[in-house]
Structure 1
Amino acid sequence: MAGWTLVKVALLSDCYPPRLGGIERQVHDLAHHLAAAGHEVEVFTATTGPHDERHGVRTVEEDGVVVHRMAIPLPIGLPVNPFAPREVRRRLEAGRFDVAHAHLGVVSPFATDLVRTALSAGLPVAATVHCVIDRSAPLFRLAGHLGRWARRGVALGAVSSMAAGRVRAAAGDVEVGVLNNGIDAAWWAPGPDVAPRDPAAGVHVVTAMRLVRRKRPLALLGALHEARRLLDPAVPLRATLAGEGPQRRAMEGYLRARGMGWVSMPGRLDREGLRALHHSGDVYVSTARLEAFGIAALEARAAGVPVVAPRGTGVDDVVTDGVDGLLAASDEGVAAAVARLAADADLRTGMREHLRTHPPRQDWAATVAATLAEYRRAGAPG
């Protein structure tokens, strides 16, 4: 990347593909976009490889990304290895790395251990928190490691402004940067192959999420039910909820009990399927309140769909209220916002035009540049 010194990066993460999840996907994509920009990237993870690689097996992915699979045999493939630090330190020292970058969730024993390992090896360290520190805040304050890291020069960061505020509260009076997740905005954007909308098909509300309590899928169904009640019966409304998880049965019961046959649940969709879903959508909706970032909302935004979501989550970094979506203070507000957009074709059209001409700033080129800036803040060459 022009203007930046090329660096050798060690990405430290409990989880990595083939495991599925937000951190896994972001670490993988960051590794490959850094490599595509000319940087050397090696990943250290406690996740078993696609062919059961573990015990420090070293594999090479496309773009030359090296992956050190430090997994050990544990029930259900838990990504934990308390024996890894000594060998990882040896590899970090032998590899002549310029910086280490740890990626942390609510529980990240492997990456947490490796922050200390990288510091003991004399490396500059960046540590990005991908979760919302909520009920676990007292434990983080009691452990005190975030504040200690910052005082040792670690560039502490989080994936959104809201998440960074929670990290700052848990770590004490220390600097916490914001490093948004990245996206291939051009890939998600609608192209000439996207068919024009058929007004007779009705307003299509879409969403994608894991069907788990933390994402509040039943609250989402409640908001859709209320939006339908608020909306003129003459306005046809349909909704598609993509995703799988343990809340599915309860959601199906909710839909049957309320006669919400206009809501479909096709299950988990791959990226191509999600892209097609968003391109058919008129409104994207979420009721999740513990969204550290909101990558699904960002994908919908990049696909040209106005977003409705609660205010005060990571989605605040993605959506400007009244410009490319609507942010609400409550579930009732989310329902009212969905009804408002469904009823106002001109408002939807204006937002879609803004989205078409203003792609999200979290494109991978900008995210890689912001990541390198974090490395410089940690003390790496820049």
Structure 2
Amino acid sequence: MRIAHVTDVYLPRLGGVELQVHDLVTRQRAAGHDTLVITTTPGPSGRRVVRLGDDLLGAGPYRVLPGRSLVDVLRVYGVDVVHAHVSALSPMAWTAGGLAASSGRPTVVSVHSMWHGMVRLVRGYARLRSAATWPVMWAAVSNAAAAAVSEALDGTPVTVLPNGIDPAEWRLPTPPRAGGVPTIVSVMRMVRRKRPRALLGAVRALRATHGRRFRAVLVGDGPLLPGLRREVTDAGLGDQVRLTGALDRDAIRRLLATADLYVAPAPRESFGIAALEARSAGVPVLARAGSGVADFVRHGTEGWLVGSDEELYATIAALLDDPGRLAAVAAHNRAVAPRVHWEAVLDTADALYAAAGLRHGVAPDRRLLGSPA
């Protein structure tokens, strides 16, 4: 089966959608499918990556691409199924969804972000495009994200197609700890919506109540990083808090092997792949309730879910005072693999492609049931 993944953002640009689409494409190829990426992100093209819109005006990687240009590519490459990937602003992916009826191709539209804060705006746009009537299968990366998508689409059913991970790749032996000081880790883009300042605020409060009885490592790059580093220095936390900048996956694995607690402070986290990687490595996870992390972290079992910044601080403080609770959850996470893994993701994607085919009157034969063409 030839699957075209239509995504406005893709490598070499780095981000959650870009990496997940790349990993999904790679896994589907390994399963025997013929996959193609169509994007407006500039970069090297090839037989498997088609880059469009260089001659069009836009902002960053985003271009408003004429539908006929996308239809031409789908026809030339003999695409069987279209899988469009939408975040908040994804003009080409929206165009791909809108072409489902006229192109006659089974289409899945996956939403990778949280629409909770902009449901009314998206609903207005979706009604303008009549998106709820498109013959597509809608999906989102978590139950929390799916609820907002369904609301924006006036109750349209939305399937959960989570991000993928190989939990075994993240399981590492825990080395002996030097000094026994608990380590708090977080991995995020240093942007406002990920709320690194909220986490740094909790760390500053912990310094006041717990002194040097912990250390914190914040991983990630982004526009807020220089300011955060100045705040750490100005607060005299340089000996206790480290902001590493961006790290590759191997370096993050090594860091997680030394971590006692992973913290995800964003309440609008659509999925939380970094939190899932930490949970797979055996690290207890503290996250905000109502985020996508709740799909793989149960309160008190794989970690803790809290409702506010104040509760986030209070929970960390209580765990530092009772390391046995951390140890118990860590033992569970090391012994029990998460249910979210690539095999389940690929099966769900294949089922969505088959269901999308039925909407076009295509029998769910082996080409749309995931069997390699």
TM-score calculated relative to the size of structure 1: 0.88
SS in 1 for 2:162: coil
8 Å contact from structure 2 (residues 190, 225) kept in 1: yes
8 Å contact from structure 2 (residues 260, 326) kept in 1: yes
Q: CA deviation at 1:84?
A: 4.8
Equivalent position of 1:246 in the other structure: 223
Equivalent position of 2:195 in the other structure: 216
SS in 1 for 2:6: strand
8 Å contact from structure 2 (residues 4, 81) kept in 1: yes
Q: CA deviation at 1:156?
A: 0.8
Residue 281 of structure 1, aligned match among 255, 259, 264: 259
| Superposed counterparts of 1:109-258, under 5 Å | 109-145=91-127, 148-191=130-173, 194-198=174-178, 200-231=179-210, 236-258=213-235
SS in 2 for 1:42: strand
Residue 105 of structure 1, aligned match among 56, 79, 87: 87
Can you list the C-alpha shifts for 1:349-368, whole angstroms capped at 9, x where unaligned?
Answer: 21112111211222111111
8 Å contact from structure 2 (residues 188, 219) kept in 1: yes
Cα distance between partner residues in 2 of 1:338 and 1:304: 17
Equivalent position of 2:5 in the other structure: 11
Can you list the C-alpha shifts for 1:322-354, whole angstroms capped at 9, x where unaligned?
Answer: 001111111111112212222223222211121
8 Å contact from structure 1 (residues 163, 314) kept in 2: yes
Matched, 1:22 2:16: yes
Can you list the C-alpha shifts for 1:170-194, whole angstroms capped at 9, x where unaligned?
Answer: 1102101111101121111114xx4
Cα distance between partner residues in 1 of 2:41 and 2:59: 7
8 Å contact from structure 1 (residues 140, 146) kept in 2: no
Cα distance between partner residues in 2 of 1:83 and 1:156: 21
Q: CA deviation at 1:94?
A: 4.0
SS in 2 for 1:10: strand
8 Å contact from structure 1 (residues 241, 266) kept in 2: yes
Cα distance between partner residues in 1 of 2:27 and 2:132: 27
SS in 2 for 1:292: coil
Cα distance between partner residues in 2 of 1:297 and 1:130: 16
SS in 2 for 1:359: coil
Matched, 1:351 2:333: no
TM-score calculated relative to the size of structure 2: 0.90
Name the count of aligned residue pairs.
359
Can you list the C-alpha shifts for 1:281-311, whole angstroms capped at 9, x where unaligned?
Answer: 1000121122111111111111111011111
Equivalent position amino acid for 2:315 in 1:
A
SS in 2 for 1:135: helix
8 Å contact from structure 1 (residues 70, 84) kept in 2: no
Can you list the C-alpha shifts for 1:12-47, whole angstroms capped at 9, x where unaligned?
Answer: 100111110110001111011011111111111111
Cα distance change on mapping 1:129 and 1:83 into 2, 3 Å: closer
> Relative to structure 2, which stretch is displaced further, 258-267 or 24-33?
258-267
SS in 2 for 1:281: coil
Equivalent position of 1:4 in the other structure: none
SS in 2 for 1:195: coil
Cα distance between partner residues in 2 of 1:268 and 1:212: 13
Cα distance change on mapping 1:211 and 1:80 into 2, 3 Å: closer
Equivalent position of 1:56 in the other structure: none
* 4+ residue segments displaced more than 6 Å: 74-77
